[in-house]
Structure 1
Amino acid sequence: MLEFVRANQITARGHNIFWEDPVYTPPWVRNLTGEQLKSAVNLRINSLMNKYSGEFVHWDVSNEMLHFNFYEQRLGPNVTLEFFMTAHKSDPLATLFMNDFNVVETCADVNSTVDTYISRLRELQRGGATMDGIGLEGHFTVPNPPRIRADLDKLATLGLPIWLTEIDISKKIDQQTQAAYLEQVLREGFSHSAVNGIMLWTALHPYGCYQMCLTDNDLNNLPAGDVVDRLLGEWQTSEVNGETDPHGSYSFFGFLGEYNVNVRYSDRSTNATFSLCKGDETRHLSINL
């Protein structure tokens, strides 16, 4: 899979090093205690990070720690801090995330309110953990856009990049409504200045769709796929043409991303490329003919 990723220049993130939910912890690990478990944990994180150092831009270090605490129960409350410190030491260029669900999806889950998320993150930072990113899974049934916006606003005060890491809409809803709800969530995420990226949770397997899929088993678009295609087309700068003013300046508004520029004057022309990145300043580019 990584060979395919490299060959196609796809950016990948690591999900995850540990999962605190015992249901998804290997049975042989659940049967370990004391030094045996500690040894297995150390082997896991060191071998994984050494093998894949530099391969992933992100790591979800200890997944869903607001809801579950398998490793902390058995190895003490400081083990999560050790996970983050070891991961940072092994791959210092990777962005380390605290990833959990029901932070922006609902207000009914007392384990993962925005306040509990912030409190846990700050606790780890005070302990010395390098915490670089906020991971919000985003498994929605009926989204509440104003609530999503308010929660993102509050999390943005931490000054960390926010990623919507596992966006899907429940399969209990019909496909057309599912697509409409997906668009609401994607627009809220894309329009928020603190959200750096969005990933969809669209697992497809031979037995059908897990929760939300963009295509059927024959790779024909489902309504959710149509929404994604349409928004991808909307959220990119199309070809822009124009003439400079008398001072040789030309301005345009564009989405973040990579740009190709072609400038022509009389019988002369030149090409240039530039990246438009997030920032408060207007980006100035000088091109000489």
Structure 2
Amino acid sequence: MMYALPFCFLLLFFLADPPLAAPYDGPLYDFSAYTQCKTRAEGPLYNGGILKGARWDIPRVLADGVYSPAFVLRNLTTGTKYCFSSWVKIKGADSAPIRASLMSEKKTINCVGTVTARRGCWSFLKGGFVLDEPLDYSLLFFQNSDERAVDLAITSASLQPFTDQEWSTNQQYIINTVRKETCSHNPCSKHTGREAARSRNYSRASSKDFPFGSAIAKTILGNLPYQNWFVKRFNAAVFENELKWYATEPDPGNITYALADKCWNSSEQTRLLLEGTISSGRTQVHACMGSEPFRPCPTVSCQQQDSKSNEQRLGADATLHFYETAHQSDPLATLFMNDFNVVETCSDVNSTVDSYISRLRELSRGGATMSGIGLEGHFTIPNPPLIRAILDKLATLQLPIWLTEIDINKTLSKETQAVYLEQVLREGFSHPSVNGIMLWTALHSYGCYQNVPNR
């Protein structure tokens, strides 16, 4: 399946009505992505970018003696967003997790992008990287993540650089067209007659309709200054731990929702869109409350890594049973699969974008009614081109995507955390398939989750 914001529409927008004062003549970001293996590969994005005409079969011998296709890259610059994509086909195995990496004398980026490649057809890899220092000479190469010996073929490779300004301009285009409603005096103006005729078209930001929130904990109860601070900044909330099993059943057989009810009632008074998180093991069940008029809209979420553990203990259909039970309890529930390290990195072989998609499709075939995609987003150093590429591939599923637990690692300075947090929020808000963003920042006596002192 392919997902793309129509390229011709992007082009017409920039030519006919540029969003900035000066006309934009830089590259337009291509949202195209594919998740099905194809007998014939599509052409390269951006007509190949700086790889146009480059050969991919420069051999590089890996540790296992296998030759990997590789590209020689020269004069890569600091801060530039490099968007990479290619089609991959393998021999020697039915399927294999293929990883693209970048190596130079100065540094190695272990993962630029991944794809689960299959024998006999072409699979689409999409990713990218940003450098913190210039590289005069580097190799971009491919290898099998599980270290089995497989033969690789590459075609339609592309590497497109974006400056910071070009990246920002493309983001702003999406915000102007997707996050704002263009209104004329007819539907939006209260004026009539000549006043209406003189009124100009304008854009009314719909950002207030975009769910943007944070985790809350019991510390918000009775804390009026914190409540006022919260509702001025957010229109959504998620229970941090108050609906997890160890909160609702502190002792075996002693089930209580008293604390969760208090948090619910507090949020209901401020008309927040509210999510609560229940956990069985580490399988999460979310409850999303809100809408007009105010009514519960429960959301179930299950981490794919932890579902394997559940199935080892509880049976092969344990995860599917969780979804079925939630759906039977409330047929209006929106069911999500929530996981970590899908959008944060591509180095975790257990949480690649393709493994996430495969697991979601497996649950859907088993009868689960899957209504959304949950990405936790616990970042250390964000990689904006990779984030965008992963969101593009997930968007092929045509399901709403939520960033559910955004935070930045506490090992970084507060100033750096702020810079990286803004990068992540801008990537989420400027992607047309992201429907909501939640921060994992419930307030405690020690601060937020990523301010917990090392113990």
TM-score, length of structure 1 as denominator length: 0.59
Residue 113, structure 1, aligned to residue 345, structure 2: no
Residue 90, structure 1, aligned to residue 304, structure 2: no
Q: What do residues 72-130 of structure 1 show as CA deviations (whole Å, max 9, x unaligned)?
A: 11221111111101101111222111001000101111110000000000000000001
Q: What is the one-letter code of the residue matched to 1:13?
A: E
Residue 209, structure 1, aligned to residue 209, structure 2: no
Which blocks of at least 5 consecutive residues in structure 1 are unaligned?
A: 25-44, 214-289
Query: CA 1:194/1:212 → structure 2, altered by over 3 Å: closer, same or farther?
Result: farther
* Distance across 2 between alignment mates of 1:191 and 1:103: 19
* Distance across 2 between alignment mates of 1:77 and 1:190: 37
Q: What is the one-letter code of the residue matched to 1:6?
A: E
| More RCO (CA 8 Å, sep 6+) | 2
Match of 1:260 in 2: none
Q: What do residues 31-82 of structure 1 show as CA deviations (whole Å, max 9, x unaligned)?
A: xxxxxxxxxxxxxx9xx99xxxx964342333x2325533211221111111
1:154 corresponds to which of 374, 377, 393: 393
Question: Are the equivalent residues in 2 in contact too, given 1:203–1:212 (CA < 8 A)?
Answer: no
Which blocks of at least 5 consecutive residues in structure 2 are unaligned?
A: 1-262, 288-293
Query: CA 1:203/1:14 → structure 2, altered by over 3 Å: closer, same or farther?
Result: closer
Greater gyration radius: 2
Q: What is the one-letter code of the residue matched to 1:181?
A: Y
Judging by fraction of residues, say which structure has more helix.
1
Question: Are the equivalent residues in 2 in contact too, given 1:13–1:56 (CA < 8 A)?
Answer: no
Question: Are the equivalent residues in 1 in contact too, given 2:300–2:326 (CA < 8 A)?
Answer: no
* Distance across 2 between alignment mates of 1:122 and 1:200: 27
2:280 corresponds to which of 18, 34, 40: 18
* Distance across 2 between alignment mates of 1:107 and 1:137: 14
Match of 1:200 in 2: 439
Q: What is the one-letter code of the residue matched to 1:82?
A: H
1:189 corresponds to which of 405, 428, 446: 428
Q: What is the one-letter code of the residue matched to 1:170?
A: N
* Distance across 1 between alignment mates of 2:341 and 2:365: 24
Q: Secondary structure at the match of 1:12?
A: strand
Out of 130-139 and 71-80, give the one that drifted further: 71-80
Q: Secondary structure at the match of 1:205?
A: coil
Query: CA 1:209/1:7 → structure 2, altered by over 3 Å: closer, same or farther?
Result: closer
Q: How big is the alpha-carbon RMSD for the aligned residues of Structure 1 and Structure 2?
A: 2.4
Q: What do residues 210-247 of structure 1 show as CA deviations (whole Å, max 9, x unaligned)?
A: 2169xxxxxxxxxxxxxxxxxxxxxxxxxxxxxxxxxx
Match of 2:313 in 1: 74
* Distance across 1 between alignment mates of 2:387 and 2:417: 17
* Distance across 2 between alignment mates of 1:142 and 1:89: 41
1:60 corresponds to which of 300, 319, 331: 300
Give the total of aligned pairs.
184
TM-score, length of structure 2 as denominator length: 0.38
1:132 corresponds to which of 347, 368, 371: 371
Question: Are the equivalent residues in 1 in contact too, given 2:344–2:379 (CA < 8 A)?
Answer: yes
Q: What do residues 145-200 of structure 1 show as CA deviations (whole Å, max 9, x unaligned)?
A: 00000000000000100000000000111011110100000000001111000000
Out of 84-93 and 179-188, give the one that drifted further: 84-93
